[in-house]
Structure 1
């Protein structure tokens, strides 16, 4: 019967149904054919979203949207261009730098691609950058967002596994910055080889002014991260503080948030949060069915029977997650696969915090892996260039991302050093 569940799910995916509907319909078909009372559906859906830490997700979504509509994106981009715009390929480097700074606010790769890309891709094309390269840089750098804290997918992973949100945030910091700077190095060499333009060097006064304007947005990330790590407030409380802070900065400091804009932001955030909660609810039901049918145990035993070497196991998991990440939304993939694969990883003595970072990196790389990577489609649409050209231009960035994934997989201290330093 479990194969009927999976078959219906895959068919719905191929028909391009929303992920939540794919999960819901496949679960409904399974329950009807199995003769299980349908009252199980609302019960399991409710138990999946009845988790205190999940209340932080709507808060972070609202805070990110408030800061984005409040002029944050432009300030961050301007500051990055002041800092490194005079270097060869400065706009491209500023694109990546903006993604690294914006990561602490948005926490999702797709919103990063759309927000940064809508400003930077046209600007890069206007300055003489190749359209495919501009789109590829934007898509590749957006994967840094959910690795550098705070991160919505990390909150989901912590909820699914009972891991500390603070430890996960810290664990993603070094890999996130390592990925971002590695993409910068590659971009610089490509820009130098192709003789891409550079901006005029900014004066110290311009840099200082850019820092002051960006300071307020960076301060929010600092407050959230160190507030959670220091035990000052929970992730849920942090999200509410972020909303209040974002509103005050957007309305009083940047003066971009009006009452009308704020209402639009809240309405959009409510829609996003509601759709996400429905997805989490259906995923919990889907996961319950998998567990009752003992599919996780089957997968675990098959992988461990194949090899008990933890590096071979991690290689297999990496390949699976990258493949899944190419066609499935990150949070949906986490909800379905993370609990199953975490048991496999811990069975071969992989630290759960370390594995969570590996899993997230994989799924982020999947978003920029052709032919179905979602971020590639978003950036190609903004850049008005074919997905094939963007995929070709993004191939070197994909290789760099895979190299960082390999390093994080082989060297656990890259993700575990900061959690051990601050929270053990």
Structure 2
């Protein structure tokens, strides 16, 4: 490894160990490396601007705002009520409800932490009251929230598509089956873990109650249909779809459910702006980091070293998965795309791995990172809602990590799980 790589990655990890925010750590390590190799600092501002001045990335603030609007509109509690009426009477039914509603809300928010925040405040107390261990309930909601970056529309897919130059529409459609597989794995684990719990009896909903709950939740259920149908029907682009999601959420919240007040919009806009600014700061800082990785030959050297070690595609994919699982424990998905994709893409091209398929592999890896300690953001959100310690939820989340890795292995080594719907649609 050259001196440039040691300078860049060494300073980055030292800053992380000092508990410096990741966006700042990425930026400072890039500045240190640019100064060390006498690169004009004008490169820094130019690269940051170029990275963010892209129409496609406008989808990020719009999807963030749409998720906040729909959370405040009362869609989440209606989705939970409908799922509870449908399967809540089954043994372990609330665990199934948690995963099903996470899949639905994921298709609205596109964000893991947003999904946990929207659903956890309702589901964790309900599961605790029904007889579930609170640590297990919090761990399940944190794990299920990670589906938010796998099921389309996904903010993570938008960033991956920009960095890897892959169609975001294809990524959205390719993420559906892997997202559902991920959810099924979590349901299986939750049913096994909770088999010895003593649950309160829940009466079976009547057909009328189920129908009424469905009608009440229909506006929320329609959201992903409108977004994805519009994209694949050629009506609007993914970025325009994010804007449509905002106006649809406002319409539902103000005029249909009437839970969103006009006076609340200013606060929602401020909150969405802050969240968007954090994401875009990471994008801009990470883009300079990625530029250095590429132009200093770091990516090429690492790729050549790995291919010299082995040319076996399956072994290389295993090594990459291990790297991503470890990286996901410490850095967020957006940073990981910018830091690691410049290194991985030459390797993937050399061994013939489709970048569409790899986009799902990488995103599932980083979704698992959202609920693995020490920096799993979903865990912290669930801890706050459940009022439990990180050590307690970290123990409870182990079964969900295990089944998620099994799902990851299937997605990695059976490409058809990812590609068969895009191929079926001729994409």
TM-score, normalisation: structure 1: 0.97
- Whether the 8 Å contact between 2:170 and 2:422 is mirrored in structure 1 is yes
Q: Deviations over 1:157-184 (max 9, x none)?
A: 0111111111101111001011112211
1:3 paired with 2:6, answer yes
Counterparts of 1:255 and 1:164 in 2: how far apart (Å)?
37
- Whether the 8 Å contact between 1:85 and 1:198 is mirrored in structure 2 is no
Q: What corresponds to 2:258 in structure 1?
A: 255
1:240 paired with 2:243, answer yes
Counterparts of 1:277 and 1:245 in 2: how far apart (Å)?
24
1:52 paired with 2:33, answer no
Counterparts of 1:159 and 1:372 in 2: how far apart (Å)?
25
Deviation at 1:198, TM superposition (A): 4.5
Q: Deviations over 1:20-40 (max 9, x none)?
A: 111111112222232222221
Write the mapping of 1:173-184 to structure 2, written as runs, cut at 5 A.
173-184=176-187
Structure 1 residue ranges (4+ consecutive) displaced by more than 6 angstroms after TM superposition: none
Deviation at 1:109, TM superposition (A): 1.1
Q: What corresponds to 2:322 in structure 1?
A: 319
1:151 paired with 2:154, answer yes
- Whether the 8 Å contact between 1:354 and 1:416 is mirrored in structure 2 is yes
Q: Which runs of 5+ in 1 are unaligned?
A: none
Counterparts of 1:300 and 1:197 in 2: how far apart (Å)?
55
- Whether the 8 Å contact between 1:342 and 1:355 is mirrored in structure 2 is no
Q: What corresponds to 2:110 in structure 1?
A: 107
- Whether the 8 Å contact between 2:70 and 2:253 is mirrored in structure 1 is yes
Q: What corresponds to 1:350 in structure 2?
A: 353
- Whether the 8 Å contact between 2:23 and 2:282 is mirrored in structure 1 is yes
Deviation at 1:381, TM superposition (A): 2.8
1:373 paired with 2:343, answer no
Counterparts of 1:106 and 1:338 in 2: how far apart (Å)?
25
2:291 to 258, 267, 288: 288
SS in 2 for 1:192: coil
2:392 to 386, 389, 393: 389
Q: Deviations over 1:192-246 (max 9, x none)?
A: 3323335221111121111112111121211111211222211111111111111
1:142 paired with 2:149, answer no
Deviation at 1:366, TM superposition (A): 1.6
Write the mapping of 1:31-70 to structure 2, written as runs, cut at 5 A.
31-70=34-73
Q: Deviations over 1:301-357 (max 9, x none)?
A: 111111111110000000000000011111111221123213312211111111110
Q: What corresponds to 1:421 in structure 2?
A: 424
- Whether the 8 Å contact between 1:325 and 1:366 is mirrored in structure 2 is yes
Q: What corresponds to 2:32 in structure 1?
A: 29
1:194 paired with 2:204, answer no
SS in 1 for 2:147: coil
Q: What corresponds to 2:18 in structure 1?
A: 15
Write the mapping of 1:63-142 to structure 2, written as runs, cut at 5 A.
63-142=66-145
Deviation at 1:133, TM superposition (A): 0.7
Deviation at 1:190, TM superposition (A): 2.8
1:215 paired with 2:248, answer no
Q: What corresponds to 2:340 in structure 1?
A: 337
Q: What corresponds to 2:270 in structure 1?
A: 267
SS in 2 for 1:361: helix
Aligned residues: 424
Counterparts of 1:198 and 1:283 in 2: how far apart (Å)?
51
Counterparts of 1:193 and 1:126 in 2: how far apart (Å)?
16
Counterparts of 1:8 and 1:402 in 2: how far apart (Å)?
31
- Shift of the 118–294 alpha-carbon distance from structure 1 to 2, 3 Å rule, reads same
Which piece of structure 1 moves more, 168-177 or 331-340? Answer: 331-340
SS in 2 for 1:281: helix
Q: What corresponds to 1:303 in structure 2?
A: 306
2:163 to 160, 164, 176: 160
- Shift of the 225–366 alpha-carbon distance from structure 1 to 2, 3 Å rule, reads same
Which piece of structure 1 moves more, 47-56 or 333-342? Answer: 333-342
- Whether the 8 Å contact between 1:87 and 1:198 is mirrored in structure 2 is no
Deviation at 1:102, TM superposition (A): 0.5
Counterparts of 1:366 and 1:230 in 2: how far apart (Å)?
33
